[in-house]
Amino acid sequence: MNKTIYANTQNRGDNYCKDCRARYRDLCGVMSDDTIYTLYDLGRSNKIEKGEYLFMEEAPSTYVYNISSGMLMLERIGSDGRRQIISFVYPGDFIGLTVDSNYSVSCRAVEASRFCRWKRTELEQFAEGHQNLEKSLRVIGNKVLARTIDQIFILGRKNAVERLAFFLLQTSGRQINAGLSETQLNLPMTRTDIADHLGLTIETVSRAFSRLSKDKLIELATPSLVTVLDHDQLIKCADNYKV
Amino acid sequence: MNKTIYANTQNRGDNYCKDCRARYRDLCGVMSDDTIYTLYDLGRSNKIEKGEYLFMEEAPSTYVYNISSGMLMLERIGSDGRRQIISFVYPGDFIGLTVDSNYSVSCRAVEASRFCRWKRTELEQFAEGHQNLEKSLRVIGNKVLARTIDQIFILGRKNAVERLAFFLLQTSGRQINAGLSETQLNLPMTRTDIADHLGLTIETVSRAFSRLSKDKLIELATPSLVTVLDHDQLIKCADNYKV
DNA sequence: CGCGCACTTGACCCCGGTCAAAGCTAGTGG
DNA sequence: CCACTAGCTTTGACCGGGGTCAAGTGCGCG
Question: Which among B138, B146, B198 is the nearest to A137, CB-wise?
Answer: B138
Q: Percent of chain B having pLDDT more than 70?
A: 92
**Domain finish residue from B154, B171, B202:** B154
Do A121 and A186 belong together in one domain?
no
**Domain finish residue from A132, A154, A176:** A154
Do A186 and A119 belong together in one domain?
no
Q: Is the pLDDT of residue B18 over 90?
A: no
Contact B31, B90 (CB under 8 A): no
pLDDT of residue B47: 93
**Average pLDDT over chain B, rounded to an integer:** 90
Average the pLDDT over each of A195-199, A239-243, B17-21, B58-62 and give the range with the smallest value. A239-243
pLDDT of residue A11: 55
Give the single-character DSSP code of A182: S
Q: Which residues pair with A162 in a beta bridge?
A: none
CB neighbours of residue B147 within 10 Å? 14
Q: Percent of chain A having pLDDT more than 90?
A: 71
Average pLDDT of the segment spanning A20-37: 90
Residue A243 lies in a domain: no
CA angle B167, B172, B174 (to 5 degrees): 95
Residue A191 lies in a domain: yes
Average pLDDT of the segment spanning B19-47: 90
pLDDT of residue B12: 60
pLDDT of residue B19: 84
Residue to mutate among A149, A151, A196, A197, with most B CBs inside 10 A, is: A149
Query: Torsions phi, psi of B36, nearest 5?
Result: -60, -30
Domain that holds residue A45: 2-154
What is the spatial distance between Cα A162 and Cα A235, in angstroms, rounded to a whole number? 9
Do B144 and B186 belong together in one domain?
no
**Domain finish residue from A154, A189, A221:** A154
pLDDT band at A2 (very low <50, low <70, confident <90, very high): very low
Q: Please give the residue that has the higher pLDDT: either A134 or B240.
A: A134
Do A106 and A198 belong together in one domain?
no
Q: Is the pLDDT of residue B48 over 70?
A: yes
* CA to C1' distance (Å), from A112 to C29: 27
What is the spatial distance between Cα B221 and Cα B213, in angstroms, rounded to a whole number? 10
Residue B243 lies in a domain: no
Q: Domain with A182 in it: what CATH number?
A: 1.10.10.10
Burial B114-143 (b: 16+ CB within 10 A, else e): bbbbbebeebbebbeeeeebbbbbbbbbbe
What is the spatial distance between Cα B40 and Cα B87, in angstroms, rounded to a whole number? 26
CB neighbours of residue B96 within 10 Å? 21
Q: Do A145 and B149 count as a contact with CB atoms less than 8 A apart?
A: no
Do A40 and A59 belong together in one domain?
yes
Per DSSP bridges, beta strands A218-222 and A225-228 are antiparallel
pLDDT band at A4 (very low <50, low <70, confident <90, very high): very low
| Residues recorded for chain B | 243
Q: Is the pLDDT of residue A144 over 70?
A: yes
Do B127 and B166 belong together in one domain?
no
Contact A89, A73 (CB under 8 A): yes
Do B54 and B146 belong together in one domain?
yes
Total count of domains within chain B: 2
Max mean pLDDT among A198-207, B122-131, B168-177 falls in: A198-207
Q: Which residues pair with B63 in a beta bridge?
A: B119
Does A138 lie at the interface with B, CB-CB under 8 angstroms?
yes
Q: Which of B28, B196, B25, B19 is nearest to B108 (CA)?
A: B196
Residue B77 lies in a domain: yes
Average the pLDDT over each of A10-14, A144-148, A169-173, B193-197 and give the range with the smallest value. A10-14
* CA to C1' distance (Å), from B188 to C8: 18
Q: Do B198 and A156 count as a contact with CB atoms less than 8 A apart?
A: yes
pLDDT of residue A99: 75
Residue A123 lies in a domain: yes
pLDDT of residue A214: 95
**Contacts with B131 from chain A: Cβ below 8 Å:** 128
What is the spatial distance between Cα B126 and Cα B37, in angstroms, rounded to a whole number? 13
pLDDT of residue A189: 98
Do A147 and A179 belong together in one domain?
no
Residue A204 lies in a domain: yes
Which nucleotide across the nucleic acid strands is nearest to A202, CA versus C1'?
A: D9
Do A26 and A96 belong together in one domain?
yes
Average pLDDT of the segment spanning A152-159: 96
Q: Which of B100, B95, B173 is nearest to B141 (CA)?
A: B95
pLDDT of residue B3: 43
Q: Domain with B19 in it: what CATH number?
A: 2.60.120.10
pLDDT band at A243 (very low <50, low <70, confident <90, very high): very low
Do B63 and B143 belong together in one domain?
yes
What is the spatial distance between Cα A168 and Cα A166, in angstroms, rounded to a whole number? 5
Average pLDDT of the segment spanning B44-51: 94
pLDDT of residue B240: 55
Residue B141 lies in a domain: yes
Do B6 and B76 belong together in one domain?
yes
**Contacts with A157 from chain B: Cβ below 8 Å:** 78, 82-84, 199
3-state class (DSSP) for residue A125: helix
Residue spans of alpha helices (H) in chain B: 2-9, 26-29, 36-42, 120-128, 131-157, 160-176, 191-198, 202-214, 231-238
> Which string of DSSP letters, residue by residue, matches A79-124?
TTS-EEEEEEE-TT-EE---SSSB-SSEEEEEEEEEEEEEEHHHHH
pLDDT of residue A15: 62
Residue spans of alpha helices (H) in chain A: 2-9, 26-29, 36-42, 120-128, 131-157, 160-176, 191-198, 202-214, 231-238
Average pLDDT of the segment spanning A191-197: 98
Do B36 and B107 belong together in one domain?
yes
Residue to mutate among A79, A84, A130, A132, with most B CBs inside 10 A, is: A84
